[in-house]
Amino acid sequence: MSSTNNNFNTNNNSNTDLDLDWKTALNIPKKDTRPQTDDVLNTKGNTFEDFYLKRELLMGIFEAGFEKPSPIQEEAIPVAITGRDILARAKNGTGKTAAFVIPTLEKVKPKLNKIQALIMVPTRELALQTSQVVRTLGKHCGISCMVTTGGTNLRDDILRLNETVHVLVGTPGRVLDLASRKVADLSDCSLFIMDEADKMLSRDFKTIIEQILSFLPPTHQSLLFSATFPLTVKEFMVKHLHKPYEINLMEELTLKGITQYYAFVEERQKLHCLNTLFSKLQINQAIIFCNSTNRVELLAKKITDLGYSCYYSHARMKQQERNKVFHEFRQGKVRTLVCSDLLTRGIDIQAVNVVINFDFPKTAETYLHRIGRSGRFGHLGLAINLINWNDRFNLYKIEQELGTEIAAIPATIDKSLYVAEDDETVPVPFPIEQQSYHQQATPQQQLPPQQQFAIPPQQHHPQFMVPPPQHHQQQAYPPPQMPQQQGYPPQQEHFMAMPPGQPQPQF
């Protein structure tokens, strides 16, 4: 904490002239005006400045559109900065990622050319997304963040590790391979972070994790985050955590902003029902979950046949294709994503307001994470479950485990439950990228990624200009009041923390 203070003070002293207006010089994106729930608003009222973060980090935070810490950030950031182990649970989409990324960026020393933080996640897409958050928040910090997951070229990753890497984000299998060959040197990695910790500590991952831990220095700080803990992780806590500070901000499991319905259908009626939903709902972006890869592909094809743009993703696809799908959907290029449980956890797309369980999941935590893809950061969303005869007991079971009752779908669904009045402010992860598409000028590969964020705020939502006009009519969902764009702006980790009407933080 003291070093933080010094750092901050140093900045104050040396840049006195900039001090007054460093904030005004920031490129702060447009405020997300959608209503939010207590899940993210119920804070003690701290600001990010209260944490005495370094100036560069604060700049990254504000430029990302953050205004106020969410409850989990408020709890976790100060404790994490003091160096204590943390075991935290907070609901889906309430800012957990930033809650561990911010202290990470605060603690990593840019001048030390070593891997200083390791972030483990269960899926490759989540690794990409987490890395992107690190890079966005830390873009002024001079910290380099690398992703290493399976499915990508291993040689490239080995070469990348020749360069400076401060933060390594990855999936356990690849990280273990690199660490055990000493390609990734974790001997100075004093920060070990697990997102979706319950999954990471489930049996299939746990052995890998414990092996990776053996390459870390004996005294390291561990931060464990998840929205669900269906099983106790006591054993791991006792073995690997030192006096963990437990944070539990959940008195209920489900998000306040999400309205859940079921539609009890015959298996062969599902597509019909889905089509009806498409025509009646005002969908901004939708994620549809199926239980097998085969069904994912079939359903995606059906949806394109019905005249809606639709991508699909599952684990049996090539990683390049998976990345493409993930990236484009986050950018709002397509309206619908059909996927398996590969994208159930952690994926953050702010523009998603409807999640449809075309097939009902087996476990409560899967259900919870799936429906948590909508209603991100306290916003409103809809979760619709297509239930067949065989699913009904599972429905009761999951209702019981979650302590929530799912109602039958009404003939009409109140728009105020899930439709935002103004979608235009919903942020997307890579605003400049779309600008460049619009201009059709620069090949992406030549753009230095760090520069891509340095764009004026007024150019933030160019996706509304993207689509070729001749495709608009095909693309649009039936509700006529829907804007005719090709996609809607998704977004990055809760970049719009500010509820409408809330005053700007004081400085």
Partner 1 sequence: MKGNFRKRDSSTNSRKGGNPDNNYANGGSSNNQNNGSMLYENADTTKNFNDRQDYLLVNSIGSNVTVTVTSGVKYNGLLVSCNLESSNGIDVVLRFPKVVDAGVSNSVDDLARTLGETLLIHGEDVAELELKNIDLSLDEKWENSKLQEAKPSRANSEKEKVNNELNEGGKFRTDVDISRSGKEIKERKLEKWTPEEGTERFDINKGQALEDDSTAWDQFAVNEKKFGVKSTFDEHLYTTKINKDDPNYGKRLQEAERIAKEIESQGPSGNIHIAEDRGINIDDSGLDEEDLYSGVDRRGDELLAALKSNSKPNANKASRYVPPTLRQQPHNMDPAIISSSNSTNNENVAATTVTTTPAEAEATKEKASQKSPKNKKGLSSKEAQIEELKKFSEKFKVPYDMPKDMPEVLKRSNSTLKSNSSLPPKPISKTPSAKTVSPTAQTTVVKSESRKSTSNMSQGQPSAAHTTRSSTSSRRRNHGSFFGAKNPHTNDAKRAAFGKSFNMFIKSKEAHDEKQREHDASENMEPFFIEKPYFTAPTWLNTIEESYKTFFPDENTAIQEAQTRFQQRQMNSMGHGGPGMNPNMGMNMGGMMGFPMGGPSASPTPMMNGFAGGSMGMYMPFQPQPMFYHPSMPQMMPVMGNNGAEEGGGNISPQMPSGFMAAGPGAPMGAFGYPGGMPFQGMMGSGPSGMPASGSTIHSHGHGRNYHQNNHNGHRNNSTSGHK
Q: Which of residues 81-120 bind partner 1 (CB under 8 A)?
A: 87
Structure tokens at 278: 């498409």
Q: Residue 182: which residues within 8 A CB-CB, separation 6 or more?
A: none
* 245-304 positions binding partner 1, by CB under 8 A: 246-248, 250-253, 262-273, 275-276, 279-280, 290-295, 297-302, 304
Measured from the CB of residue 286, what is the shortest distance to partner 1 in angstroms?
A: 15
Taking CA atoms, 123 is separated from 175, 204, 343, in Å, by 12, 13, 8
Q: Please count the other Cβ atoms lying within 10 Å of the Cβ belonging to residue 302.
A: 15
Give the Å distances, CA to CA, from 292 to 47, 338, 341, 352, 359: 44, 11, 9, 22, 9
CA angle 421, 258, 338 (to 5 degrees): 90
d(CA 51, CA 73): 10
- The interface with partner 1 within residues 385-404 (CB under 8 A) comprises 387-397, 399-404
Rounded to whole angstroms, how far apart are CA atoms 257 and 34? 12
Of residues 436, 451, 41, 26, the one with CA closest to residue 256: 41
Q: What angle do CA 82, 214, 218 make, to 5 degrees?
A: 40
Instruction: Give the dihedral sign, CA 479/483/484/485.
Output: negative
Q: Would you say 25 or 411 has its CB closer to partner 1?
A: 411
CB-wise, 17 or 251, nearer to partner 1? 251
Q: Using the minimum distance from each CB to partner 1, give the nearer residue, 486 or 491.
A: 486
3-class DSSP assignment, residue 357? strand
Please, which residue, 11 or 436, has the CB nearer to partner 1? 436
Report the site for partner 1 in 163-182 (rule: CB under 8 A). 163, 165, 171-174, 176-178, 181
Q: Which stretch binds partner 1 (CB under 8 A): 105-113, 160-168, 348-356, 419-427?
A: 160-168
Q: Which of 107, 114, 256, 324 binds partner 1 (CB under 8 A)?
A: 324
CB closer to partner 1 out of 128 and 420: 128
In the window 2-41, what residues touch partner 1 (CB under 8 A)? none
User: Does residue 378 touch partner 1 according to CB under 8 A?
Assistant: no
Per CB under 8 A, the list member of 437, 457, 479, 484 interacting with partner 1 is: 437
Chain positions 46 to 85 lying near partner 1, rule: CB under 8 A, are 75
Stretch of 4-12, 15-23, 357-365, 490-498 contacting partner 1, by CB under 8 A: 357-365
Residue 507 near partner 1 by CB under 8 A:
no
Site for partner 1 in 133-152 (CB under 8 A): 135, 144-152
Site string for partner 1, 452-481 (x = CB under 8 A): x--------------xx-xx--xx------
Euclidean distance between CA atoms 310 and 318, whole angstroms: 18
